[in-house]
Amino acid sequence: MQENFLPNRNLESALMASLSAARLGRYLRDSGGNRPSALRLYDWNVRLSQSLYVRLQIWEITLRNRMNAFLCDKFGMDWPHRPVLSQLRKSDLDRLRTSVLRQKRRRGLDLPTTDMIVADLSAGFWVAMFAQRYSRMFGWPDNLQKVFPYSRSHTRHQIFELNGRVLEIRNRVAHHEPIYHLDLTRLDDDLNVLLNGMCQGAAAYADKACRFNVVLRQGPERET
C-alpha cells in the first residue's frame, strides 16, 4: 500500500485551488468528477513523470553530445559559427542564432564556445536535424551510424519518428501536463531503442536508475 500523499483530507480543497480547475480538468473528467480520485490520479501522473525523467534526461544529453561530435567532425569544432549552417531551415537557424546570442550576453563573450551553445540548444533543435530536409546536408544515408552506431537496422526516417515521439513526451513532462493516458510502455520502448542505439553505457545506466515500470504497475493510490 502506498503512503497517502496528503496527510489530511482537509488539505484537498487547498491543493485543488492551487493546482487550478483548468489544470485538473482532465483528471476530474477521468475520475467521474470525484475530487479525491482526481487528486490521486494527478499524484500518479506526477510520479510517472518523475520516474521517466531519468531516461529522458539521459536521452537528451546523449543525443546532443553525439550530434555535437558528429557536427564537429563534419564541419569543424566551431560548427555553430560556420557559414554552412545558414542552410538550416529558418526556424532551426533562429534557434541556433538565439542560443549564440543568449550565450554572448550571459557570458560577456564575443564568441561563445561550442560546448556553451550545445548545452543551450533545445531538444527540439537536435530532433529536427534528422528531418528529411537535412538528409543531403548531413549525408544521413551514410552518416547515421556516426550518431547511432548500434542502430544499424534503423533508417533516418525511423530515427526521426522515434525521437519525435520521445520529444513530445519530454515536453509534456517539462510542462507538467498529463501523460498517464498515453501509451507509456511504447514510449519506454522508444527510449530504450534510442539509448541502446547511441550508447550502451547510457542505456545501462538508465535501466538501473529508472523506476518507470514500478510506478506504472502501481497505478494511482487507492482510497483508504
Q: Is position 9 within any domain?
A: no
Confidence at residue 11, expressed as pLDDT on a 0 to 100 scale: 81
Q: How big is the CA angle at 199 (ends 197 and 201), to the nearest 5 degrees?
A: 135
Q: Is position 160 within any domain?
A: yes
Its pTM stands at 0.90
Length reported for the chain: 224
Q: Is position 110 within any domain?
A: yes
Number of domains in the chain: 1
131-165: pLDDT as tens digits: 999 999 999 999 999 999 998 889 999 999 999 99
> What whole-number distance in Å separates Cα of residue 50 and Cα of residue 48?
5
Q: Is position 208 within any domain?
A: yes
92-110: pLDDT as tens digits: 999 999 999 999 999 998 8
Report whether 130 contacts 160 (CB < 8 A): yes
Residue 1 pLDDT class (50, 70, 90 cuts) = very low
Domain encompassing residue 167: 52-212
17-66: pLDDT as tens digits: 888 988 999 999 999 998 889 999 999 999 999 999 999 999 999 999 99
Region 183-202: mean pLDDT is 95
